[in-house]
């Protein structure tokens, strides 16, 4: 089970320090939300922020590209230091080509599905990806309410993966906190992205530790 704090909700005046805090508290992945104001109705951060944080953390950098035509930027994100790159199925025509491109750059490749996107679109691409990111809110903003039907969606995706004996991780993103984390993990999620629940907390480090103990309690059950 991996915890991936999303820096979208971090204090950007103290970004390095906050990343260090969650790293020391046991976070597994640093999640970057890249938004272009076109694919999603918001603009966030981009390549220079990944470049500056790359030497600053030993954790894998997960670039969640909420941008149109992501294929144009794959090389740049890999060069900037991303270890994992995910693209939205809704934003890509030649998905297999993009996934192979990400792999050629020695990065883990993920595909992302919006809440209203059916899992059927994953049928053909599933054997080629390292992870599927299930959006449990509509992408674009931190701090939104978890969409409850995501739980059954994760359960169905998990069963697609196990039935076909694939090694594909399930990442979940949006509205993950101490209440929703156990629900998505029980449904089959492997990696949890959390923005406001971690960086919106008084102590991000403490928030990571609390989430870890909630997850450990489920695994032991
Ligand atoms: C939403 C982003 C998320 C966001 C999650 O568009 O993809 O990664 O930061 O934020 P919370 O955890 O606050 O829902
Ligand atoms: Zn994200």
pLDDT at 219: 78
Q: Which ligand is nearest to the CA of 143?
A: 1
Q: Note the pLDDT of residue 221.
A: 72
pLDDT score for 94? 98
Between the CA of 209 and the centroid of ligand 2 the distance, in Å, is 20
Q: Which atom of ligand 1 is nearest to the CA of 194?
A: 12
What confidence score (pLDDT) does residue 181 get?
A: 98
Which amino acids bring their CB within 6 angstroms of ligand 1?
6, 8-9, 31, 33, 64, 137, 139-144, 173-176, 193-197
Give percent of the chain above pLDDT 90: 98
CA 127 to centroid of ligand 2, rounded, Å? 22
Q: What is the pLDDT of residue 154?
A: 99
176 vs 80: CA distance, rounded Å: 27
Ligand 1 centroid, distance to 8 Cα (angstroms): 7
Structure tokens at 168: 């594909």
From residue 131, alpha-carbon distances to 24, 113, 127, 182 in Å are 25, 11, 10, 20
Q: Is 173 known to be catalytic?
A: yes
Q: Which residues pair with 112 in a beta bridge?
A: 88, 133
> Residues 10, 16, 21, 26: what is their CA dihedral angle, to the nearest 10 degrees?
90
Q: What was the pLDDT predicted at 29? A: 98
**Which residues neighbour 75 within 8 Å (Cβ) at sequence distance 6 or greater?**
105
What was the pLDDT predicted at 218?
A: 87
pLDDT digits (tens, 9 = 90+) for 75-97: 999 999 999 999 999 999 999 99
Residue 165's pLDDT is what?
98
For the question of residue 33 being annotated catalytic, the response is yes
48: tokens are: 């220079």
Q: State the pLDDT at residue 220.
A: 78
Residues in the chain where the model's pLDDT stays below 50 = none
């Amino acid at each position: 089970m991996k915890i991936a704090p999303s820096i979208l909700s971090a204090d950007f005046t103290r970004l390095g320090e906050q990343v260090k805090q969650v790293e020391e508290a046991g976070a597994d992945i640093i999640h970057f939300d890249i938004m272009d104001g076109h694919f999603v109705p918001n603009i966030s951060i981009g390549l220079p922020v990944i470049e500056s944080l790359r030497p600053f953390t030993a954790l894998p950098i997960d670039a969640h590209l909420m941008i149109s035509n992501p294929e144009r930027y794959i090389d740049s994100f890999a060069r900037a230091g991303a270890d994992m790159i995910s693209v939205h199925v809704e934003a890509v025509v030649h998905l297999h080509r993009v996934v192979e491109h990400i792999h050629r750059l020695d990065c883990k490749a993920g595909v992302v599905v919006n809440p209203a996107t059916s899992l059927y679109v994953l049928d053909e691409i599933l054997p080629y990806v390292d992870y599927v990111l299930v959006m449990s809110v509509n992408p674009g903003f931190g701090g939104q309410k978890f969409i409850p039907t995501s739980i059954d969606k994760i359960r169905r995706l998990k069963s697609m993966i196990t039935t076909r004996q694939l090694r594909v991780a399930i990442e979940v993103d949006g509205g993950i906190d101490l209440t929703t984390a156990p629900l998505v993990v029980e449904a089959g999620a492997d990696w949890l992205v959390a923005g406001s629940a971690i960086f919106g907390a008084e102590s991000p480090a403490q928030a990571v530790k609390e989430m870890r103990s909630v997850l450990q309690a489920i695994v032991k059950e």
